[in-house]
Structure 1
Amino acid sequence: MTTSPLLIVVGGTDPVYRGYCVEQAAAGYPIALIDTKSPSWAHHLVADHEVADIHDVDSVVAAGLALAERHRVAGVVTWDEYALVPTAALVERLGVPGNAVEAMTACRDKARSRRLFAEHDVPSATSTRVTSLEQAREAALSTGFPVVLKPSSHAASIGVIRADNIEELLVAWEFASAGAGEQGPEGSGVLVEEYLAGPEVSVECVTHQGITTALAVTRKEVGFAPYFEETGHTVDAADPLLPEVAPVAIQAVRALGVTSGIQHVEMRLTATGPRIIEVNARIGGDRIGTLVRLATGLDLPRIAADVACGRQPDLTRTAHTTAAIKILYPPASGVLTARELSADADATCPWLHEVTWLRKVGEQVALPPAGNLDTARVGFLIVTDDTAQETRARLASLTDDLTLTVTR
């Protein structure tokens, strides 16, 4: 048994995208892990573990109770979208700080989110849940083109597609309904929604004891239309947009009944003002937590751990710069035959914080719609500079010197 109260981490151990979360939480607390397999790369960070299906409520609760028999538990946290509801169930069972199952279900089920947004006057999008192509057609005609189709309870833009007219709706329906077949159990069917035109951003928030604070704005790059593949993100500590979008993000978090943890609130900046896409009740993906730390000094995984354990988080900014990530995609689908970047993340390029390759030469790569996050991305670059403009210029210079070759 650990001498200090222990933090249980449910899932989220992918070393590339979530490894930093485990490391930063473990720097502040002894941690136990509930995951689908025994810890590998993170074994030296973990005081104990249980193997469980992290997307199943009963499995997670049983694993958590087994850990609680061996340790004093201070809190439970996850940054895995599909483990939010099981984690909330464990929180309730152990009586530690955290969100209610109902609130996490409201975040996961986008149809329920839309209803709650409407009830609380949160600016959002017109949305209709459908289960057939004919219903999708009726909803699209009622809403007006263009429309967006998406599974009700998926993530990472899986199954999300835009249709500009009735002719495109059939292809969109097939793509979205295929994604919906693999979605989480919190929602069902496909949503046909009003397309929100305008730049996409997210607001990174923390909620402690029911009080939400907006910490940073993430400006997003989205590509591969009519799909919504995220290709880059920028966090500027001095972003003037924060005062405008913060109240809308906070209003959305409150409407869903979220009272604890980190929230990644996605919205579009439309001609009528910011309008909510969705609220993800966990740290944003694509290393957004790393960007927030580099730009502001705010450590989102440590903040999440503190809140989960009932402690007041430290929200003192210790940096005032800009950080950005560029996600590298191949020029076409096929076999990756060359990948080369002239710069290295070393003392000669202190502004280049990380170069990570996700695909090796000789491996197959596939762009959307055939490809997904695992097969489409070749790697990513993380850079910093004083301003957003300078940071984007750094990324542009790197990508100009980048070689990615694919043989079909």
Structure 2
Amino acid sequence: MTPTGKDFARRAGDDFVQLGATRDGLDPYLDQARDRGMRAVLVETPAYLRWRRMLGRRPFDLEVAVERPQDESAVTAALAAAGVAPRLVLTGFERYVYAGFAVARAVGAAPWPAVGEAFRPPDKREQREALRAAGAVVAQPRFAVLTPDGPPDDLGYPQVVKPSDGGGGLGVVLVDDPEQRAHAADLVRGMRNYGGGAFGSVLAEEFVKGPELSVQGVAHDGRPHLLSVCEKLTTLEEVPDAPGLSGFREVGHLARHGDTAEEGLREMTARCLDAVGYREGPFHVDVIQGEAGPVFVEMGFRLSGGGLVGLVERATGDSWAEAVFAVHLDGRPPVLSPARERAVGQIAAVSRRELEAGDELAARGHEVEVLRAAPPPGTRALSAADREVLASDLARHTGSLGRVVVAGESCAHVQSLLRPIVSPRLRG
């Protein structure tokens, strides 16, 4: 029998539950839980918990292994069996965001019900449909759900093919003609999502050319509070075992204070959150800056990965995770620092040359941190079953040797220092 909210209420405690481990090595929610004297509980697959220990990541106070963390009933039962009494349930990884909100509702813990009584996090297809249904004045690419029988190919080329419920760039492919589109769709259908599951559906959408931006913030009582705006540095790379197909990878980010967001970006963010009924908690909204203004790409209902949590704090002086805990546990809007004339950027280095280029910038007097990662563990110690479950993680979240972080008075200045380091990898 699945435990109910009443079952957990009888064991009322002060546990913080994180569903899914972060993949970037940062654990901001763990820090906040410990600052508040809460027991920190991590729920993950047994395979990823083993891999996380091999990576030398900090342990949570309690780690609960669940074969399918995307199954909210399995998570709820495992928490009850472990004697966990959640006060707050948050998602640490995109794959499990739907289950995270469902678990919070099931156990009667924050962010429910302040997040919105009827809120369920929509996937990429559902986000686009929600914007249409709400009549929101938000520019977005035309798109279609791909099935073996269709639909008609009337989007023009190039197109982007992607899973509706993927994360971290997994399965996102640029195609130039119908043959490539069919190949990419078959490729995505054959992939395994994080944790070993299948994708819900496959989308094709118009490719929009322009700079890529993301907004990081926290919603409180239906109002978005913007911490930062990030400009993305992206690259195209060949898809393994698929000659002729290219996928996207984020190489780096440039962060500035949220108060510097253009009015069109602010309005789009508010309309997006309103269209999906999201009233309380962390969010990020990704856009492409088109010729006529921002074009919606997707939104997420969690902290960003890729080291952005640390980058946002360096650029703004504010802790994104602290703002989230304040909203959910104290019921107050985040107290954010005033705008500053400062930008901070970072790149994920994949070679010693890129790390050494960061050292050279520091030697020339620029404000630079070179954060070298520990040597990665070998995967031979993993069982064949673990490697299968972790296949997407090993493909998308390994290979970085560290980060080069640069601060300056503007994004343009920071970009002028970082771009030459990674220019051989950049597109456009």
Pick the TM interval, shorter chain.
0.7 to 0.9
Q: Per-residue CA shift, 1:206-229, capped at 9, x if unaligned?
A: 112322222211100111164221
Q: Distance in 2 between matches of 1:181 and 1:250?
A: 30
**Aligned-partner SS, 1:58:** helix
Q: Distance in 1 between matches of 2:333 and 2:13?
A: 19
**Aligned-partner SS, 1:325:** strand
- Which of 214, 217, 235 is the matching residue for 1:223? 235
**Aligned-partner SS, 1:55:** coil
Aligned to 1:160: 172
Maintained 8 Å contact 1:159/1:176:
yes
Aligned to 1:379: 402
Q: Kindly tell me: are residues 25 and 302 of structure 1, through their superposed partners in 2, closer, same or farther at Cα, counting changes over 3 Å? A: farther
Deviates more, 1:271-280 or 1:389-398: 389-398
Q: RCO greater where, 1 or 2, for CA within 8 Å and sep 6 or more? A: 2
- Which of 99, 110, 125 is the matching residue for 1:111? 125
**Aligned-partner SS, 1:372:** helix
Q: Distance in 2 between matches of 1:339 and 1:202?
A: 25
Q: Kindly tell me: are residues 193 and 70 of structure 1, through their superposed partners in 2, closer, same or farther at Cα, counting changes over 3 Å? A: closer
**Cα deviation, residue 184, structure 1:** 8.6
Aligned to 2:100: 87
Q: Distance in 2 between matches of 1:276 and 1:316?
A: 26
**Cα deviation, residue 21, structure 1:** 4.0
Aligned to 1:391: 414
Give the 5 Å matches for 1:1-400: 5-14=14-23, 16-36=24-44, 41-43=57-59, 46=61, 48-53=62-67, 54-66=69-81, 69=83, 71=85, 73-98=86-111, 99=115, 103-106=119-122, 109-120=123-134, 121=136, 122-132=138-148, 134-135=149-150, 138-139=151-152, 141-179=153-191, 188-224=200-236, 226-237=246-257, 240-317=260-337, 320=340, 321-329=342-350, 341=356, 351-357=367-373, 372-396=395-419
Gaps of 5+ in 1: 331-335, 403-408
Deviates more, 1:3-12 or 1:145-154: 3-12
Q: Kindly tell me: are residues 277 and 397 of structure 1, through their superposed partners in 2, closer, same or farther at Cα, counting changes over 3 Å? A: closer
Maintained 8 Å contact 1:88/1:100:
no
Q: Distance in 2 between matches of 1:82 and 1:322?
A: 30
Question: For this pair of structures, how many residues does the alignment match?
Answer: 378
Maintained 8 Å contact 1:180/1:189:
no
Q: Kindly tell me: are residues 352 and 21 of structure 1, through their superposed partners in 2, closer, same or farther at Cα, counting changes over 3 Å? A: farther
Q: Taking structure 1 as the reference length, what is the TM-score of the superposition?
A: 0.79
**Aligned-partner SS, 2:140:** coil
**Aligned-partner SS, 1:168:** helix
Q: Kindly tell me: are residues 167 and 70 of structure 1, through their superposed partners in 2, closer, same or farther at Cα, counting changes over 3 Å? A: closer
Q: Distance in 1 between matches of 2:77 and 2:117?
A: 16
Maintained 8 Å contact 2:116/2:280:
no
Letter in 1 for 2:107: L
**Cα deviation, residue 192, structure 1:** 1.2
Provide the alpha-carbon RMSD of the alignment.
3.7
**Cα deviation, residue 19, structure 1:** 2.6
Maintained 8 Å contact 2:226/2:258:
no
Maintained 8 Å contact 1:262/1:304:
yes
Q: Distance in 2 between matches of 1:260 and 1:340?
A: 39
Letter in 2 for 1:131: T
Deviates more, 1:16-25 or 1:227-236: 16-25
Q: Kindly tell me: are residues 131 and 102 of structure 1, through their superposed partners in 2, closer, same or farther at Cα, counting changes over 3 Å? A: farther
Maintained 8 Å contact 1:105/1:186:
no
Q: Distance in 2 between matches of 1:363 and 1:318?
A: 45
Deviates more, 1:220-229 or 1:190-199: 220-229
**Aligned-partner SS, 2:332:** coil
Maintained 8 Å contact 2:224/2:269:
no
Q: Kindly tell me: are residues 360 and 75 of structure 1, through their superposed partners in 2, closer, same or farther at Cα, counting changes over 3 Å? A: closer
Maintained 8 Å contact 1:110/1:152:
yes
Q: Distance in 2 between matches of 1:378 and 1:279?
A: 28
Q: Per-residue CA shift, 1:292-314, capped at 9, x if unaligned?
A: 11111121111222233253143
Maintained 8 Å contact 1:358/1:377:
no
**Aligned-partner SS, 1:143:** coil
Q: Distance in 2 between matches of 1:251 and 1:77?
A: 23
**Aligned-partner SS, 2:70:** coil
Letter in 2 for 1:391: V
Q: Per-residue CA shift, 1:359-381, capped at 9, x if unaligned?
A: 569999xxxx9x83234434322
Maintained 8 Å contact 1:75/1:310:
no
Taking only the aligned residue pairs, the percentage that are identical comes to 20
Maintained 8 Å contact 1:34/1:64:
no
Deviates more, 1:218-227 or 1:355-364: 355-364
